[in-house]
Amino acid sequence: MTFSKPENRTFIDQGTGAPTLVFLHYFSGAAASWRWVIEGLRPEFRCVAIDLPGFGHQTPLPEPSLAAYSTFVQEALAALDIEQYILIGHSMGAKIALQTAIDAGPQATLAVVLMAPSPPTQEPMPEQERQRLLHDDYTNADTAATTVDGAIQRSLDPEQRATALETHGQAEPSAWRWWLLEGMHHSIADQLPQLVSPVAVPVVVIASEDDPVIPLETVQGEVLALLPQAQLVQLRGLGHLLPLEDPGAMTEILRQIAYATPAAAA
């Protein structure tokens, strides 16, 4: 899968057809994490996956914040001449997708899909796990394997597992620490009404009841309860790395969402 680099940003950009689907990856992931989902959707839609700053092949932000990540995403899409899109965010990427949708507004954001989302409030994480992620060498293969294996319920095939381990080690230290110390704790709940008024942006939440990282109870109480227009697609038997554990199911869910938007019908 080839990366294009307009203005020194790294993307996967494949397929044609409306609406354009924009993919934002999880913490320690990268654009490549969406490879198998994009393969299923690119015959029908334009699919753009972005390496968020400090992950994959993208240089980190000098002063990371949710607002700065939102600005980066909007500038990246403008560089690709994308004016309207469905934002699809996974875990950390879901929180960034929400911030981007708030900032870009309903004129640009056709819908938001939150996959195993980090909540817009504060993401719960056991302190022991946070300290492990902060102080262990996350670039070490064994450490990466511990993190990946602790996030899944369904075994990954060798290529998908290799991608998860590789992207884990590509993260820049500044981005890694920012998310664990600041980003996941920064609440944007007070901004969520902007997704409802004056026009409600459609929101779909995809979550597994067996997610070991972000429990379904957190999704219900900290995501769905704050977004009255949101619809839940509830799964079982899958963990946190949904695009890698079952890309076929994610592809079909996203296809249905995409065809339900006005841009697809037009």
For residue range 67-123, what is the model confidence (pLDDT) as tens digits? 999 999 999 999 999 999 999 999 999 999 999 999 999 999 999 999 999 999 999
> What percentage of the chain carries pLDDT values higher than 90?
90
Domain that holds residue 75: 3-265
For residue range 179-219, what is the model confidence (pLDDT) as tens digits? 999 999 999 999 999 999 888 899 999 999 999 999 999 99
pLDDT of residue 63: 96
* Alpha-helix residue ranges (DSSP H) falling in the chain: 35-41, 66-79, 92-104, 127-135, 141-151, 158-170, 173-181, 216-222, 242-245, 247-259, 262-265
Q: Looking at the 3D structure of the chain, how many domains does it have? A: 1
Q: What is the pTM of this model?
A: 0.95
Q: In this structure, what token pair is assigned to residue 83?
A: 């004016």
Q: What is the CATH number for 128? A: 3.40.50.1820
Is the pLDDT assigned to residue 163 strictly greater than 70?
Answer: yes
Is the pLDDT assigned to residue 158 strictly greater than 60?
Answer: yes
Residue 233 burial (CB count, 10 A): 16
Distance, CA of 136 to chain centre: 24
